[in-house]
Amino acid sequence: MNFLSPWFLAGAALIAGPIIAHLIRRVTRERQQFSAMRFLQESPPRLSKRSRIQHPLLLALRCLIVAVLAAGFARPFLRTEIPLLPGTGTPQSVVVVLDDSASMQRAGLWPAARKKITDLAASLKDGDQFVLFVASGGVTEVISRETWLKTAADGRTDLVRTALAARSPGWGPTQLDSAIETAVIQWEQMAEATDSTARKKLVVVSDFAAGARIAGLAGLPWPKNCEVALETLKPDHVANAGLQWLGWAVGPEAAPAAGVPARNGAPPKAVARVRVVQSAGEIAPVLSLQLRDARSDRALGPEQTLTVPPGEAQVALVPIPADAPDGPLKLELTGDTENFDNTLWLVRPTPREVTLSYYGAHSTDDLKHARFYLERATAGWKDPVVKFRAMADPAPAAVPAAANDFAVVAEPLAADRVKTLRDRLAAGGFALVLLNEPAMVETAAALANETGWSSLTPKLAGAGAQPHALLGKIDFQHPLFSPFADPHYSNFAGIHFWSPQSLLLPAASKAAVVARFDDSSPAVIEVAVGKGRLVVWGGEWSTAAGQWVTSTKFVPWLQSLFERSVGGAVRPSVSEVGDTGRLVTGAAQWRNALEAGTTYVNTAPAQPGVYELLEEGGVARLVALQVPAAESNVMVVSPDDFEKLGVPLRGGAGVAGVADAGRAPRPPPGTQTSAVLEGRQKLWRWLLVAAAGLLAIESLFSYALARRESGAPAPT
């Protein structure tokens, strides 16, 4: 019999209550009042053989009730239901997950982790199996089961020691859930390959910082006969201060009048917003921030001093001085004992530029052609910034190819100009052809480098009023129309086209029809030409040709068209290690902007810093990778959180955790499993029922005694 809350057994001391009551009652009851006491003398006390305690059976009953209640509150359970782990002769399968996230960079953690794992490996028997994973963002197998089994028994400890010596903590986030899940899968494979009765042990070696992701552990199918041991590492310094990137200040915060100091009278280029986080603990509250040039390490601007009390955070505004270089910057935090999260890399996003080449001899005030509307619709854009260039007069060969060339063809082109434009398209340019007359079909076909395209005039409906065509079928999956995919914005039926033009595409055409008129003739098509793309719009863009240019969908559609020409929608330039999905979706090439020669192709860098990111079909841009902000939160996750997620925790011999400072004392080994056992058995319910029964018996018994003493017949 074991107890989950044995301190409640102290309540059994209340047994003294009934005993004292039985002693006291005897004295108090036997009193006699008399009038002629004057004539009485005190009698010498007689020796009585009878016990001083009245009604010993009743007293025993009452003591038993108290004892049963105390035992019930102590929540007893029977240990015998625990599946006893096999003895030392039974092989065991040990999977070790080593956290090598950024927070493990703290002093004292990594050597402790290496020693702990090496000791664990040394304690294993010959028939035991051992697998070592490291987890930081992704999961990497350091020592596989096969490697372990191939190694001679006396060399296995060295194998582990060597493998760990070659590694150092990374910079990624702590994603313990995916690491444990991978380990469990591996474990099941081990179990299938070996004796299924083998003792299964999963050891997680980590600092269990509060920023660790463990939510994915919920609902994880745990195999039977397993146990999870949490090995908490203790760092040299409990406290930590960190820097977190919030973004560039906008609005009043960016203005010099808002308190941001201007240097030498010149307003700052920009203002960076960062958050300085202090963990709870003994730590100096005074910290300082210094902005530096990331390339030359030159200090920029004065040092900024902050006072952040422990356990709190403070947002700081860091102005970028006017004389700061345009290249990458870094912000350093000093005054903290743990340096892994004390540097922020800053990259100011540079707006993308698009050169809009308009092919058409139309004046800028001509309301009947697209130039008038294009110039006005694209004016003032922040990203991409559109530079308009008329292509009517200059000779095509004399025009230099722009970095991001976007051509709008509004009149039939000569063959040489078509060739020049097609070459630009093949090199990665973007072109839009407006079918404002049937002759434009030839130009479009020539640009698409296809044949067999013919002109087609869509049927107009609404003959009674002004006849018009509508956009009937739109592919909202296509990037051109995806901004309108939401049903709130997908209604194009209100836009009338009074002079639409369409074309008849041959069956062999590679053109994709993005939208069709209501008579099913193509309205918008897109053709890939080399690395570039050609979009053909069926009709002129003018108020005389239809309502398209005056509709609310015109400018958003143009925005998506131009963003598509420069590589897609605006992307952030700052992210965290292990979270590069925000920066780039497809294949890309990363080049370290600070260290020449370090290039990552199709794989994201694992270190914080400034990188030049070149996406396929896009332009190169500078991005910054920071240490994950969650890693700065070094408070320790409670084992209770794991238990709530269903992790079968067990602190067995040899896997006892190291209690961390500032953390609640770890429950004694076996407590978690004991709670589960107790929860299953629920012996306390039976004890409470027994106490209630005893209470009823006691009531009847004492009632009968009282009746007997008072002379009344006891109830039968």
Q: Is the Cβ of residue 32 or residue 710 nearer to other proteins in the bound state?
A: 32
**Distance from first CA to last CA of the chain, Å, rounded?**
39
Looking from the CA of 183 toward its CB, the CA atoms found within 13 Å total: 31
Binding segment for other proteins (CB under 8 A), chosen from 30-38, 64-72, 75-83, 243-251, is 30-38
**Minimum distance from CB of 38 to other proteins (Å)?**
7
Q: Which of 7, 40, 49, 83 binds other proteins (CB under 8 A)?
A: 40
Q: Which of 7, 9, 25, 38 binds other proteins (CB under 8 A)?
A: 38
711 binds other proteins (CB under 8 A): no
52 binds other proteins (CB under 8 A): no
51 binds other proteins (CB under 8 A): no
What would you report as the CA-atom Rg of the chain, rounded to the nearest whole angstrom?
40
Burial string for 281-316 (b: 16+ CB within 10 Å, else e) reads: eebeeebebbbbebeeeeebbeebebebeeeeeeeb
Draw the binding track, 436-475, toward other proteins (x: CB under 8 A; -: no contact).
----------------------------------------
Looking from the CA of 153 toward its CB, the CA atoms found within 13 Å total: 6
Binding to other proteins (CB under 8 A) within 553-572 occurs at: none
Longest dimension (CA), the chain: 148
Draw the binding track, 226-255, toward other proteins (x: CB under 8 A; -: no contact).
------------------------------
Draw the binding track, 636-665, toward other proteins (x: CB under 8 A; -: no contact).
------------------------------
Distances (CA, A) of 56 to 24, 63, 713: 14, 10, 21
- Compute the distance between CA of residue 418 and CA of residue 411 in angstroms, rounded to an integer: 11
44 binds other proteins (CB under 8 A): yes
Strands of the sheet containing 138-143, edge to edge, are: 138-143, 129-136, 92-99, 199-206, 226-232
Q: Is the Cβ of residue 45 or residue 251 nearer to other proteins in the bound state?
A: 45
- Compute the distance between CA of residue 684 and CA of residue 126 in angstroms, rounded to an integer: 44
Binding segment for other proteins (CB under 8 A), chosen from 39-47, 120-128, 250-258, 467-475, is 39-47
46 binds other proteins (CB under 8 A): yes
Residue 714 is given by DSSP the state: P
Whether the Cβ atoms of residue 567 and residue 618 lie closer than 8 Å to each other: yes
- Residue 91 has a CB neighbour count (10 Å cut-off) of 17
**Minimum distance from CB of 28 to other proteins (Å)?**
9
Q: Which of 45, 221, 581, 711 binds other proteins (CB under 8 A)?
A: 45
Burial string for 319-358 (b: 16+ CB within 10 Å, else e) reads: bbbeebeeebbbbbbebbbbebbbbbbbbbbeebebbbbb
Token pair, residue 291, equals: 């902005």
Tell which residue, 117, 83, 353, 416, has the closest CA to residue 225.
Answer: 83
How many residues bind to other proteins according to rule CB under 8 A? 18
Draw the binding track, 294-323, toward other proteins (x: CB under 8 A; -: no contact).
------------------------------
49 binds other proteins (CB under 8 A): no
47 binds other proteins (CB under 8 A): no
41 binds other proteins (CB under 8 A): yes
Token pair, residue 493, equals: 């039926």
Binding segment for other proteins (CB under 8 A), chosen from 27-35, 527-535, 564-572, 574-582, is 27-35
Q: Is the Cβ of residue 27 or residue 257 nearer to other proteins in the bound state?
A: 27
Cβ contacts of residue 661 below 8 Å, gap of 6+? Answer: 234, 238, 281
Binding segment for other proteins (CB under 8 A), chosen from 23-31, 68-76, 132-140, 502-510, is 23-31
Whether the Cβ atoms of residue 616 and residue 586 lie closer than 8 Å to each other: yes
32 binds other proteins (CB under 8 A): yes
Q: Is the Cβ of residue 29 or residue 382 nearer to other proteins in the bound state?
A: 29
- Partnered with residue 37 across adjacent β-strands are none
- Compute the distance between CA of residue 292 and CA of residue 44 in angstroms, rounded to an integer: 101
33 binds other proteins (CB under 8 A): yes
Q: Which of 16, 18, 21, 36 binds other proteins (CB under 8 A)?
A: 36
Q: Is the Cβ of residue 26 or residue 571 nearer to other proteins in the bound state?
A: 26
* φ, ψ (nearest 5 deg) of residue 422: -65, -35
Parallel, antiparallel or unpaired: strands 512-517 and 522-529? antiparallel
- Residue 438 has a CB neighbour count (10 Å cut-off) of 15
Residue 550 is given by DSSP the state: G
Q: What residue has token string 């070592």?
A: 132
Q: Which of 12, 22, 25, 34 binds other proteins (CB under 8 A)?
A: 34
Q: Is the Cβ of residue 46 or residue 49 nearer to other proteins in the bound state?
A: 46
Binding segment for other proteins (CB under 8 A), chosen from 35-43, 659-667, 681-689, 705-713, is 35-43
Q: Is the Cβ of residue 33 or residue 88 nearer to other proteins in the bound state?
A: 33
Q: Which of 7, 42, 49, 219 binds other proteins (CB under 8 A)?
A: 42
**Minimum distance from CB of 45 to other proteins (Å)?**
6
Q: Which of 2, 12, 13, 35 binds other proteins (CB under 8 A)?
A: 35
- Compute the distance between CA of residue 54 and CA of residue 77 in angstroms, rounded to an integer: 36
What is the binding site for other proteins (CB under 8 A)? 27, 30-46
